[in-house]
Amino acid sequence: MSEQKRPELKRLFIETYGCQMNVYDSERMRDVLSPLGYATTERPDDADLVILNTCHIREKATDKVYSEIGRLRAHKERRAAEGRGMTITIAGCVAQAEGEEIMRRAPEVDLVVGPQAYHKLPELIARVARKTGERLAADFTAQEKFDALPARAPDGVTAFLSIQEGCDKFCTFCVVPYTRGAEYSRPLADVLHEARALADRGVREITLLGQNVNAYHGDGGAGFSDLLRRLAEIDGVERLRYMTSHPIEMDDELIALHGEEKKLMPYLHLPVQSGSDRILKAMNRKHDGAFYRDIIARLRKVRPDIALSTDFIVGFPGETEKEFEATMQMVRDVTFASAFSFKYSPRPGTPAAGMMGQVSEEAKAERLARLLELLSAQQLAFNQAQIGRVLPILVTGDGRRPGQKQGRSPYLQGVHFDDVRASKGETVAVRISAATQGSLSGVRHEMATA
């Protein structure tokens, strides 16, 4: 009788940088590698296979990759001296943008794989193991990637579902159209199928992911609003969110849907980048400040409690003090529940990198500090405004203390509350009693009134 050979246990270390798209992709890489016997380790020195899933969006993000490769080199040499191997793989947007350069600068890197080729990882890693000398993986189409990667089997109650990749907007500061390629939307049936599978496994909240998620256009003319409506019909799916959106894709139908569809959570991440019309034009954002304010006003009309989040870039080439002040005014006028702000970072090959009037590092740092101070105050005020309110909280697990649970508010805030009965996946009423800039805490409502 022959004994079936089980795959030998190997250790996988993945470090993820950048956006939610990368977080999602890293999980999928784990999924394709686990049938080969790869189990996750938290220690790079312990790993047979290391994957850095990289981000190219700002210079700092890219620099991190090279310093991390340097650290890995030491682990690799130590392991080699002990007779153990280590395969170093660079994935993600730096891999896509600078694959050749990584190969040249970092001989210890075995494999470079762009975001469209992750389903080929088992084959690519086997090739490296056979020492064929091949080190570079090129682009494949997004369709092939989505079809080939198995649906995620998450254990939680919240999940990301990627529905769209790439971008054709070409904002003058941004590398994404170059690293993730042209916009591609997954077929409607595939997305619905994956959402049903997630709901069957206990997922109650789905966040749709894409670089321009609201530009989604499925087969048969299905638009993003159609997709949301179809997803809302799925039993078990209780909450829907999406990110990241572009203001020019917020059409009338989608705005109206925020008022009609109860499963659509009252929280929207809608990057604006700047409050100055001249800067918005130079950024090629395709809209002005008034257009953005109008969208917000219409959203608030149909969904008065909607909370907003955004992205800002300070110190875009040519930005004057007055133009920066227009950004500050935008923040005062709109008021945000949360935001991500960045100093402009010139990216090779993008139009803005060659623009006149690059802003000094000092001015960028000073503007960023002022903006962050204002945004932090708004975030704290938004969280404090929840005190005394009873919110529906989706239970995501146990809290730090016995008897404590943690969950998520409709506004994406983390909430801790005392309750022994509530189980994971349930939505319970919690009266909010305290707030910090980062999270809320409260008491199960029935208990509070008893």
* Cα 69 to Cα 62: distance, rounded to the nearest angstrom: 11
How far is Cα of residue 428 from the mean position of the Cα atoms in its chain?
27
* Cα 370 to Cα 375: distance, rounded to the nearest angstrom: 9
Total residues contacting ligand F3S (rule CB under 6 A)? 13
57 forms part of the interface with ligand F3S (CB under 6 A): yes
Compute φ and ψ for 51, nearest 5 degrees.
-120, 125
Name which position in 311, 325, 418, 426 contacts ligand SAH (CB under 6 A).
311
**Is residue 261 classed as helix, strand or coil in its secondary structure?**
coil
14 binds, among ligand SAH, ligand F3S, ligand SF4, none (CB under 5 to 8 A by kind): none
18 binds, among ligand SF4, ligand SAH, ligand F3S, none (CB under 5 to 8 A by kind): ligand F3S
Q: Return the residues of window 28-87 that contact ligand SAH according to CB under 6 A.
A: 57-58
Residue of 48, 53, 31 whose CA lies nearest to 128: 48
Mark the segment that binds ligand F3S (CB under 6 A) among 150-158, 172-180, 188-196, 251-259: 172-180
Task: Count the Cβ atoms, other than its own, within 10 Å of residue 285.
Answer: 23
Distances (CA, A) of 34 to 50, 125, 321: 14, 13, 52
* Cα 102 to Cα 343: distance, rounded to the nearest angstrom: 25
C-beta of 139 vs 446, nearer to ligand SF4: 139
Q: Return the residues of window 92-151 that contact ligand F3S according to CB under 6 A.
A: 92-93
92 binds, among ligand F3S, ligand SF4, ligand SAH, none (CB under 5 to 8 A by kind): ligand F3S
Which residues, at least 6 apart from 15, have a Cβ–Cβ distance to it below 8 Å?
44, 50, 51, 52, 53, 68
Compute φ and ψ for 100, nearest 5 degrees.
-65, -40
C-beta of 26 vs 396, nearer to ligand SAH: 26
* Cα 448 to Cα 416: distance, rounded to the nearest angstrom: 15
In sequence order, which ranges of 160-313 are alpha helices (DSSP H)? 176-179, 188-200, 224-232, 252-260, 277-282, 289-302
Name which position in 22, 212, 327, 338 contacts ligand SF4 (CB under 6 A).
212
| Residue 50: exposure state from Cβ atoms within 10 A (0-12, 13-18, ≥19) | buried
C-beta of 109 vs 272, nearer to ligand SF4: 272
Distance in Å, CB of 372 to ligand SAH, minimum: 14
* Cα 335 to Cα 377: distance, rounded to the nearest angstrom: 10
Amino acid at position 224, single letter: F
Q: Return the residues of window 165-194 that contact ligand SF4 according to CB under 6 A.
A: 167, 169-171, 174, 176-177
198 binds, among ligand SAH, ligand SF4, ligand F3S, none (CB under 5 to 8 A by kind): none
Q: Return the residues of window 239-278 that contact ligand SAH according to CB under 6 A.
A: 244, 246, 271, 273
209 forms part of the interface with ligand F3S (CB under 6 A): no
Name which position in 179, 345, 378, 379 contacts ligand SAH (CB under 6 A).
345
Site for ligand SAH, rule CB under 6 A: 57-58, 173-174, 176, 211-212, 244, 246, 271, 273, 311, 313, 342, 344-345, 347
Binding stretches for ligand SF4 (CB under 6 A)? 167, 169-171, 174, 176-177, 211-212, 246
Contact positions vs ligand F3S (CB under 6 A): 18-19, 21-22, 55-57, 92-93, 175-176, 179-180
